[in-house]
Amino acid sequence: MDWHILAQQLVNGLTLGSIYGLIAIGYTMVYGIIGMINFAHGDVYMVSAYLTAIAIAVLTGFGIDSAPFAIVITLALTMFITGVYGWSIERVAYRPLRGSTRLAPLISAIGISLVLQNYVQLSQGAKPQGVPTLVSGTVRLGTETNFVQMTYIQILIVVVSFAAMAALTWIIRSTSLGRQCRATQQDRKMAAILGIDTDRIISTVFVIGAAMAAIAGVLVTLNYGSFDFFIGFVTGIKAFTAAVLGGIGSLPGAMLGGILLGLFESLFSGFVNTDYKDVFSFALLVLVLIFRPSGLLGRPEVEKV
């Protein structure tokens, strides 16, 4: 076996996996707090890709050509606007249905997903869009013929993703907001009885999920350069798979699940077959659900009194 190919696939897998992990956070946190799968989350990620392109175009229009500066501004703008999307979606489509059957918000989520896709398709056109390359260059290790390379963008993806996950972990573990989120997740009614505005916490969770998806959207767009209104679907389903793999409802689980899924998928396409990588990912999901239904780090559902 060629070790440099293995190492290269691991590098690629880590990059892909951190993206899955970032998006999976949105699925897992929302599931943890209100027990619904937010099927519109993938499309929120798609919206953030368009916002990235718009932000970059605007910045270029202003004549800003310093790549680090442009990336920071784009990240901030995209996270903010995508956060507003996340907040509005919860407010419009899920909150009015709270207290109705479990299925109602799920259907509403699918509706929102369709609305977002069609709205973007109408307003931005159906053709794939692109952004100019802001960062180019690679780091190479090895000889002329046997080498492992990592582009600057890949390094950026891994660094920014891990930083975002670390920051979020800190917020959830050690801040007052994080304690309120965990309390609301464990027993929403009890949290309210203690004076926590649980509706506000739920909104915050949607904003956090959307902001994380926005980071992923910016990074992926900078990496691939091209996107269309349908990218949210497959990526969303993959990130959802990652969340289930790690144990849905568990924050470290989503990150771990994302990275593992990225690694497996990348190794599979490197050593077995590229065309069947999605089949492999979903087969993995089926196996996890059969042998460990609560995921790697998830806890089995406990009946609440």
Partner 1 sequence: MKPSSLLEVRGLTMRFGGIVANNDVSFDVADGSITALIGPNGAGKTTVFNCLTGFYRASGGTIHLATAAGAPVEVGSLLDKPFIGGSYLVARAGIARTFQNIRLFREMSVVENLLVAQHQRLDRNVLAGALGTRKFRQTERDGLARAFHWLEVMGLTADANRLAGELPYGRQRRLEIARAMCTGPRLVCLDEPAAGLNPRETHELSELIRTLRSEHRVTVLLIEHDMSLVMGISEHIVVLDHGEVIAAGNPETIRSSPAVIAAYLGAEEAEVEGGEGTR
CB of 28 to partner 1, least distance (A): 15
Find how far residue 105's CA is from the centre of its chain.
Answer: 20
Distance CA 41, CA 199 (A): 19
Binding mask 186-205 for partner 1 (x = CB under 8 A): xx-xxxxxxxxxxx------
Q: How many residues bind partner 1 (CB under 8 A)?
A: 24
Distance CA 260, CA 253 (A): 10
Sign of the alpha-carbon dihedral angle for 128, 24, 72, 90:
positive
**By CB under 8 A, residue 183 contacts partner 1:** yes
CB of 187 to partner 1, least distance (A): 6
Nearer to partner 1, 47 or 251 (CB): 251
**By CB under 8 A, residue 61 contacts partner 1:** no
Query: What element of type H or E holds 234?
Result: helix 231-246
CB of 192 to partner 1, least distance (A): 4
Q: Which of 62, 99, 303, 305 binds partner 1 (CB under 8 A)?
A: 305
Each as own residue / partner, the long-range contacts of residues 139-142 (CB below 8 Å, 24 or more positions apart, any chain) are 142/4
Nearer to partner 1, 6 or 171 (CB): 171
Instruction: Give the DSSP letter string of 15-28.
Output: HHHHHHHHHHHHHH
Q: Which residues of 107-123 are buried (b: 16+ CB within 10 A; e: fewer)?
A: ebbeebbeebbeebeee
CB of 303 to partner 1, least distance (A): 13
**By CB under 8 A, residue 143 contacts partner 1:** no
By CB under 8 A, name the binding residues for partner 1.
Answer: 167, 171, 174-177, 179-180, 182-183, 186-187, 189-199, 305
